[in-house]
């Protein structure tokens, strides 16, 4: 945090939100910063819910993300690894907020991971109704 404002990349979110509240059009970089902030907040919300229900969660935000090597493709990094308190793996979670869906590259990687026995659960939320 710099100067009391939360930063995403190099853009101060407070100024971006103020601009948006005035009805001004955001630049692509500003919109990406807002989308990243909202997506991260939703991921954190789901992780908190899982923890409150007795699960252990390791998230990509902690730089300990579950990363998988995919033959012939770039690595696949999932949002979180979920375990029971005893430490046994329950599966992986990928969160999506807003109108974002799974892109074709992710879908191909995830299809491969499923053939390898990896369990991935997607949690989608349309945040549009929550912003007003």
- Within a domain: residue 74? yes
In a domain, 22, yes or no: yes
Give SS3 for 33.
helix
Domain contains 67: yes
List the domain range (segments joined by +) for residue 92.
Answer: 7-130
Asked whether 43 and 59 are in contact (CB, 8 A), the reply is yes
pLDDT one digit per residue (tens) for the chain, 132 residues? 333 344 445 667 778 878 877 888 888 888 888 888 888 888 999 999 999 999 999 987 666 667 899 999 999 989 999 999 888 999 999 998 877 777 889 999 999 999 999 999 999 886 554 443
Q: Are strands 120-125 and 11-12 parallel, antiparallel or unpaired?
A: unpaired
Task: Tell whether 1 is covered by a domain.
Answer: no
Distances (CA, A) of 117 to 76, 111, 129: 15, 10, 36
CATH code of the domain containing 84: 3.40.1350.10
Domain-embedded: residue 2: no
47 domain residue, yes or no: yes
Chain centroid to CA 9: 15
In a domain, 45, yes or no: yes
Domain count of the fold of the chain: 1
Q: Is the pTM of this model over 0.85?
A: no
Is residue 91 in some structural domain? yes
| 69 vs 83: CA distance, rounded Å | 21
């Amino acid at each position: 945090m710099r100067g009391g404002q939360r930063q995403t990349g190099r853009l101060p979110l407070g100024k971006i939100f103020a601009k948006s509240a005035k009805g001004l059009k955001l630049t692509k970089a500003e919109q990406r910063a807002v989308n990243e902030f909202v997506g991260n907040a939703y991921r954190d919300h789901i992780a908190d819910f899982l923890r409150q229900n007795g699960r252990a969660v390791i998230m990509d935000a902690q730089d300990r993300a579950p990363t998988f090597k995919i033959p012939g493709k770039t690595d696949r990094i999932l949002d979180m690894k979920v375990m029971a308190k005893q430490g046994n793996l329950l599966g992986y979670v990928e969160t999506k907020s807003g109108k974002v869906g799974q892109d074709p590259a992710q879908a191909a990687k995830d299809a491969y991971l499923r053939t390898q026995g990896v369990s991935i659960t997607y949690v989608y939320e349309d945040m549009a109704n929550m912003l007003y």
